[in-house]
A and B are shown apart, each in its own frame.
Chain A
Amino acid sequence: MDYHSPASFAEASALAANATGVTRFLAGGTDVLVQLRSELVTPDTLIDIKKIDGVSDITRNADGSWTLGVAATGAEMSEHAELSRDWPGVVEAMDLIGSTQVQGRATLTGNLCNGSPAADSVPAMVAAGVTVSVTGPDGTREVAVEDIPTGPGKTSLSKGEVISAVNIPARGNNAGDAYLRFIPRTEMDIAVVGVGVSLRLDGDTVTEARVSLGAVAPTVLLVEDCAKAIIGSTLDDAALDALAAAASAACNPIDDKRGTIEFRTEVAGVLAKRAAKIAYARAKGEKA
């Protein structure tokens, strides 16, 4: 295995484009090193992107949007008061992953590129409308988070492409987000179902919404029918029931030891309601 620590994303991209065999990018390493050790994935070329300038930065841009370096860790996100105020759902989702030790290393980009349908931060990012900058041999393009995973462990990134930044939109006024997941215990487990909701209000009425489901299909889903169920409503019981029905209808889960198809389908609806209520309360400026 060759270890490289390039000084720029262009260099990282070129290394990957010219590499033969299995290539992996190394950010926090909390998945890559586990796969390396268990001999699931033994890279021929490992490209550590942490020596690139600015990769750990969390920056609020002039227009209120955020740019996160690809090596910014969960711990750094949770400690960032302003980011937590703007996007509590995204920060909480990232914070749910692993232990204190894992939080010290794990990154949004790693969670996304690992390609797990149960990745906690991904539904929250999809609901928030997050995009990633992808640097490749032909330059840099911006891609919506929901367009990155293509199946368990698979992404749409092609040879030589590397995610070079995470772009979170400006939060704006009267808006809130939330992420909830179900696990069989209280801490350190993999989501059986995850739901991200982001919405904006005009008075008491929902004017914009994005709802995303995790762990109930081969990829994280952005569910338009869920958004439609609550846009125009005041999140009354009828709207919440319609939201739950749309969430359950979008599920295409597997049966496994952690949850049956029936259970995951039911819980997706329940969590969608609860997450929407939290996002709504946050949009109203209430503590939730």
Chain B
Amino acid sequence: MSKLHVTTTVNGDEVDFLCDPRETLLDCLRDKLNLTGAKEGCGTGDCGACSVTVDGRLVCSCLMLGAEAEGKTIETVEGIADGDVLHPLQQKFIEHAALQCGICTPGILVAAKSLLEKNPNPTEEETRYWLAGNLCRCTGYDKIIRAVMETAEELREAS
């Protein structure tokens, strides 16, 4: 069977790849484009480790086919930092030690960034609900929530 040719924009760059129709966007990001930030945890949309945004909307890249990315605008964790300068969220995650093994971290950063773009002043409850689809088995979540809340506060003060 012939492969599908897909042209899409990832972190601001136009890219193209050939994929099998069964390959997910996550497979394509990792194996065709060498963007291994998004992780495969469950592969069934439960854990959020593969979170990316597609046309500004937070999704699990394991629940989308590579073929569906045609013409879309995709943002992954690799696009969050500005060169060597970390995004405030990334900086706060380090300060709060909001990660241990790190597998969930790329997905949580993408999800948290998406929250703050939509709602710069979320309550703790809103933040916890927003991130309910991102599982972390190390931190117990408190440090993650504190890092996100503090980043939100600093970004509000800076703007």
Residues of A within 8 A of B (CB-CB), count: 27
Q: Which residues of A contact B43 (CB under 8 A)?
A: 37
Residues on B with C-beta less than 8 A from A48 are 65, 67-68
Assign chain B's interface to a size class.
20 to 34
Query: Per-position contact with A for B36-62: 1 when CB-CB < 8 Å, else 0?
Result: 000000011100100100100111101
Residue in chain A with minimal CB distance to B70: A5
Report whether A188 and B132 are in contact in the complex, using a CB–CB cutoff of 8 Å: yes
Docked CA distance A102–B60 (Å): 7
Q: How far is the CA of A156 from the CA of B1 in the complex (A)?
A: 32
Chain B: CB-nearest residue to A38: B44
| Residues of B with C-beta under 8 A to A46 | 21
* A33 touching B57, Cβ below 8 Å: no
Say if the beta carbon of A1 comes within 8 Å of chain B.
Answer: yes
Q: Does B116 contact A (CB under 8 A)?
A: no
What's the nearest-Cβ distance from chain B to residue A6, in Å? 13
A34 near B44 with CB under 8 A, answer yes
The majority secondary structure among interface residues of chain B is mixed
- Kindly state the separation between the CA atoms of A134 and B133 in the bound complex, as whole angstroms: 33
Q: Which residue of B lies closest to A36 (CB)?
A: B22
Tell whether A3 pairs with B4 under 8 Å between CB atoms, given A33-B65, A37-B43. Answer: yes
**Inter-subunit contact B111/A33 (CB<8 Å):** no
Q: How far is the CA of A36 from the CA of B68 in the complex (A)?
A: 15
A50 surroundings in chain B (CB, below 8 A): 68
Q: For A100, give its contact among B64, B67, B133 (CB under 8 Å).
A: B133
Q: Which residue of A lies closest to B68 (CB)?
A: A48
- Residues of B106-156 contacting chain A, CB below 8 A: 111, 114-115, 129-134
Q: Distance in Å from the Cβ of A133 to the closest Cβ of chain B?
A: 23
Q: Flag whether A99 is at the interface (Cβ < 8 A).
A: yes
A99 to B46, CA, bound (A): 8
Contacting pair A3 B67 (CB below 8 A): yes
- Give the contacting residue for A34; candidates B1, B45, B65, B133; CB below 8 A: B45
List the A residue with the shortest CB-CB distance to B44.
A34
**CB interface residues, B 51-107, toward A, < 8 Å:** 51, 54, 57-60, 62-65, 67-68, 70
B24: which of A33, A38, A75, A104 is its contact (CB, 8 Å)? Answer: A33
Smallest CB-CB separation from B71: which chain A residue? A51
Q: Which residues of A contact B57 (CB under 8 A)?
A: 73, 75, 104
Verify B21–A99 contact, CB threshold 8 A. Answer: no
B64 and A105 within 8 A (CB): yes
Query: How far in angstroms is the closest Cβ of chain B from A9?
Result: 18
> Out of B58, B65, B111, B133, which one reaches A29, CB within 8 Å?
B65
Assembly CA distance A285 to B13 (angstroms): 50
Contact indicator A33/B58 (Cβ below 8 Å) = no
- Taking the closest CB of chain A, its distance from the CB of B82, in whole angstroms, is 25
Do A33 and B64 touch (CB < 8 A)?
yes
Point out the residue from B4, B45, B130 that lies within 8 Å of A102, measured CB to CB.
B45
Across the interface, name the chain B residue whose C-beta is closest to A105. Answer: B59
Q: CB distance B132 to A100 under 8 Å?
A: yes
Interface centre among A28, A104, A187 (most CB of B within 10 A): A104
Provide the bound-state CA to CA distance between A187 and B68, in Å.
28
Determine whether A286 belongs to the interface, using a CB cutoff of 8 Å to chain B: no
Is the beta-carbon distance between A100 and B111 smaller than 8 angstroms?
yes
| Nearest Cβ on chain A to B43's Cβ, whole angstroms | 6
Cα-based distance from A101 to B57 in the complex (angstroms):
8
Most chain A Cβ neighbours within 10 Å, of B22, B24, B63, B70: B63
Let me know if B133 and A30 touch, CB within 8 A: no
* A–B complex contacts, Cβ < 8 Å, 9 sampled: A1-B22, A2-B1, A28-B63, A33-B63, A33-B64, A37-B43, A101-B59, A104-B54, A105-B64
